[in-house]
Chains A and B, each alone.
Chain A
Amino acid sequence: MIELKNIRKVFNQGQHNEFWALCGIDLAIPEQQVTALRGPSGSGKTTLLTILGCLARPTEGRVRLKGEDISGLPERFLTEIRRQTFGFVFQQFNLIRGLSAIENIILPAYPLGLPRKHLLEKAEALLADVALAHRREAKVEWLSGGEQQRVAICRALINDPEILIADEPTANLDTKLATEFLGILERLAAQGRTIILTSHDPLVVESSVVDCVVTLRDGRIVDQTEGRPASAERFC
């Protein structure tokens, strides 16, 4: 689905605090599976996720999506790809305050100019799936953490993305809510979506929902399950 070839990412290039967050990542994300990225804090999980989700560009290396090289595309095309292919659930949820749950959910579809009735129906169905139909008109800042996350998941799904990306999805949830999240994840996986997430929560990484675990350390892949070859270590 997504293939990374020798990806390197540097922050503050050329300055005294230059920092290589990723040093030569080779990775293939399998289609219709749940892939988890894990590793200690600062190992580059989020950075890798932003590159997989076309939110940021690598400093070096190639990104192929469904066989097509997208590394050199201008921002305009990346946005288009992001909208059509990816749904994001952020660690901080990043809902827009002041808007209701349902308004937040249909927000990613605004630029498409689809009929509102159609969007609202779709959003309501998504809310019902996560047992939140009764909170549709609630302003998001009044929702609990778990409810906010479920709204964020619905928002990620409104444009029917093939790939769902979630950064530390359970970091702000207690065990009960985290288990509920895994339930939702399982259903989404069963629908045939490709899911990529980062987590250091054993509950997530070791759950049966996750098909493939990639372990990062200091910007390198040090372990990968499913018998896929780990990338050759390189010095940066």
Chain B
Amino acid sequence: MKPWIAKQLYLIDYTLASLSRRKAKNLSLLFIYALLVFVLASVALYTQALRHEAQAVLAGSPEIVLQRMIAGRHDLIPAGYLEKIGRIRGVQKIEGRLWGYYYDSVVKANYTFMAPREMNIARGEIIVGPALERSRGLAAGNGISFRSYTGELHTFIVAEVLPEATELASADLVLMNEADFRAFFKYPDGHFTDVALSVANPQEVRNVAVKLMNALPDSRPILREEVLRTYASIFDWREGLMLALLAAAILAFCILAWDKAAGLSAEERREIGILKAIGWETGDVIQMKFWEGLLISLSAFLLGFLAAYGHVFYFGAPLFEPVLKGWAVLYPHFSLPPHIDGLTIATLAFFTVVPYTAAVLVPIWRAAITDPDTVMRA
């Protein structure tokens, strides 16, 4: 073994021994520290995953969604509308969409009913999102009845439950055959809820939107980029909240660090003097204390981070669900698919490990450069 490595192992050994000498104090320090990391990491992981989720959902959404407005309210797209849109230059693909909300009084939740074009769902069958699986205890093969607005009961067989992966979008979905959808909501043939458009040249999106407004004055085009911006501002607001939390946490770190910096006890000073007198260099003492700072802050970081990971991704962040999530009403058991990125981890690690380690080193530095003759005097 190289002497340098052997030396570091000796220093770590010594540090562990001196940490265990003040076990109670160091354990409580570790606990408070880990708790701080836990709060910070929970917030960071949560917003990160939420943002990622929203982006994933929006990435698959159409560039323009066209709604028809009557008296300022969203109304059905009548027959013949699609043909008119098709004549506008620049429009590449048109798809009339069928969807609507259904209030389930049993569990007091809203579902989104949808008749997707790209899926072939047999009549009388539905595919449901994971939220329904949980709230109504549904599994493939089960039957369920919904009462339509006209009062009749419609019974469906669950063909499949959607996977958890993109839950933000699919949690409350009920997918069904177009004919079933029209029958349930009494939608006349040729009518749609709204229209999804794609544009040949992405730069032309705004021009196409203007042309749509001119050709169909009762329509309202909604652009994906606008939705994205709205989402971003919502997240920014939430992140402001998180920033406040972050500031509080950093303040707490500073207090911890200050305590450490000021609290170099006479005993610790004496210990440093002894080590220097028996032949340790200033650098050796500092390296030893560096390991101490690193060991404490790194284990606090790991503990706090793992706890936060569990909190956010396994237990659904029960501690700040009400603050951070606007969908809480619609998604009673909302759980995020795990998503973490290196930058978040690195930032967190930096803000937790570096200040503490530095705070441990500063006073030690001062003590370690003093002459060791003080140990000769009691």
A residues at B contact (CB < 8 Å): 46, 49-50, 55-57, 75-76, 79-80, 82-83, 88, 90-92, 94, 96-99, 103, 107-108, 110-116, 155-156, 159, 167
Least Cβ–Cβ distance between A185 and chain B, in angstroms: 19
Residues of A within 8 A of B1 (CB): 115
Choose among A49, A50, A108, A116 the residue that contacts B278 (Cβ–Cβ < 8 A).
A108
10 contacting pairs across A/B (C-beta < 8 A): A49-B376, A55-B376, A56-B373, A75-B282, A75-B369, A79-B279, A94-B375, A108-B280, A156-B278, A167-B376
Q: Are B281 and A76 in contact (CB under 8 A)?
A: yes
Q: Are A114 and B282 in contact (CB under 8 A)?
A: no
Q: Check B11 for interface membership: any CB of A closer than 8 A.
A: yes
Q: Are B278 and A107 in contact (CB under 8 A)?
A: yes
Given contacts A56-B372, A110-B14, A113-B6, 15 further A-B contacts (CB under 8 A): A46-B377, A79-B281, A82-B277, A82-B279, A92-B378, A94-B270, A94-B274, A108-B280, A110-B7, A111-B7, A111-B281, A112-B3, A114-B3, A115-B1, A116-B10
Q: Are A111 and B284 in contact (CB under 8 A)?
A: yes
C-alpha spacing A105/B371, complex, angstroms: 22
Nearest B-chain residue to A83, judged by Cβ: B279
Q: Check B275 for interface membership: any CB of A closer than 8 A.
A: yes
Q: Check B255 for interface membership: any CB of A closer than 8 A.
A: no
Query: A50 and B7 in contact (CB under 8 A), knowing A83-B279, A97-B21, A98-B17?
Result: no
Q: Are B376 and A50 in contact (CB under 8 A)?
A: yes
C-alpha spacing A133/B275, complex, angstroms: 24
Q: How large is the interface on B (under 10, 10 to 19, 20 to 34, 35 or more residues)?
A: 20 to 34
Residues of A within 8 A of B279 (CB): 79, 82-83, 108, 111, 159
Least Cβ–Cβ distance between A197 and chain B, in angstroms: 13
Residues of B within 8 A of A156 (CB): 278
How many residue pairs, one in A and one in B, have C-beta atoms under 8 Å apart? 88
What are the interface flags for B1-25 relative to A under an 8 Å C-beta threshold, 1 for contact and 0 otherwise?
1111111001100100110110000
Query: A110 and B3 in contact (CB under 8 A), knowing A50-B376, A56-B371?
Result: no
Residues of A within 8 A of B5 (CB): 113
Q: Among residues 1 to 53 in chain B, which have CB atoms less than 8 Å away from a CB atom of chain A? A: 1-7, 10-11, 14, 17-18, 20-21
Query: A103 and B274 in contact (CB under 8 A), knowing A90-B375, A111-B279, A113-B3?
Result: no
Q: Among residues 347 to 378 in chain B, which have CB atoms less than 8 Å away from a CB atom of chain A? A: 369, 371-373, 375-378
Choose among B6, B271, B377 the residue that contacts A96 (Cβ–Cβ < 8 A).
B271
C-alpha spacing A178/B375, complex, angstroms: 22
Q: Are A79 and B276 in contact (CB under 8 A)?
A: yes
C-alpha spacing A50/B376, complex, angstroms: 8
Choose among A75, A103, A112 the residue that contacts B17 (Cβ–Cβ < 8 A).
A103
What are the interface flags for B251-277 relative to A under an 8 Å C-beta threshold, 1 for contact and 0 otherwise?
000000000000000000011001111
C-alpha spacing A98/B7, complex, angstroms: 20
When A and B form their complex, which 10 residue pairs have the shortest distance between CB atoms, in order from nearest?
Answer: A83-B279, A113-B3, A113-B7, A98-B21, A113-B6, A56-B373, A110-B10, A50-B373, A55-B373, A108-B278
C-alpha spacing A75/B10, complex, angstroms: 23
C-alpha spacing A221/B7, complex, angstroms: 43
Q: Are B277 and A94 in contact (CB under 8 A)?
A: yes
Q: Are B11 and A110 in contact (CB under 8 A)?
A: yes
Residues of A within 8 A of B14 (CB): 107, 110
Least Cβ–Cβ distance between B69 and chain A, in angstroms: 78
Least Cβ–Cβ distance between B214 and chain A, in angstroms: 81
Q: Are A88 and B7 in contact (CB under 8 A)?
A: no
C-alpha spacing A46/B369, complex, angstroms: 21
Q: Are B376 and A96 in contact (CB under 8 A)?
A: no
Least Cβ–Cβ distance between B271 and chain A, in angstroms: 6
C-alpha spacing A107/B17, complex, angstroms: 12
Residues of B within 8 A of A111 (CB): 7, 10, 279-281, 284
Residues of A within 8 A of B376 (CB): 46, 49-50, 55, 90-91, 167
Residues of B within 8 A of A55 (CB): 277, 371-373, 375-376
C-alpha spacing A83/B283, complex, angstroms: 14
C-alpha spacing A112/B371, complex, angstroms: 21
Q: Are B373 and A88 in contact (CB under 8 A)?
A: no
Least Cβ–Cβ distance between A209 and chain B, in angstroms: 22
Choose among A56, A97, A98, A107 the residue that contacts B275 (Cβ–Cβ < 8 A).
A107
Residues of B within 8 A of A103 (CB): 17
C-alpha spacing A56/B373, complex, angstroms: 6
C-alpha spacing A50/B18, complex, angstroms: 27
Nearest A-chain residue to B375, judged by Cβ: A94
Residues of B within 8 A of A116 (CB): 6, 10
Q: Are B378 and A91 in contact (CB under 8 A)?
A: yes
Q: Are A112 and B7 in contact (CB under 8 A)?
A: yes
Q: Are A110 and B18 in contact (CB under 8 A)?
A: no
Nearest B-chain residue to A198, judged by Cβ: B376
Residue of B276, B277, B278, B378 with highest tally of chain A CB at under 10 A: B278
Nearest B-chain residue to A155, judged by Cβ: B278
Nearest B-chain residue to A139, judged by Cβ: B21
C-alpha spacing A83/B277, complex, angstroms: 9
C-alpha spacing A95/B284, complex, angstroms: 18
Residues of B within 8 A of A57 (CB): 371
C-alpha spacing A150/B271, complex, angstroms: 19
C-alpha spacing A97/B271, complex, angstroms: 9
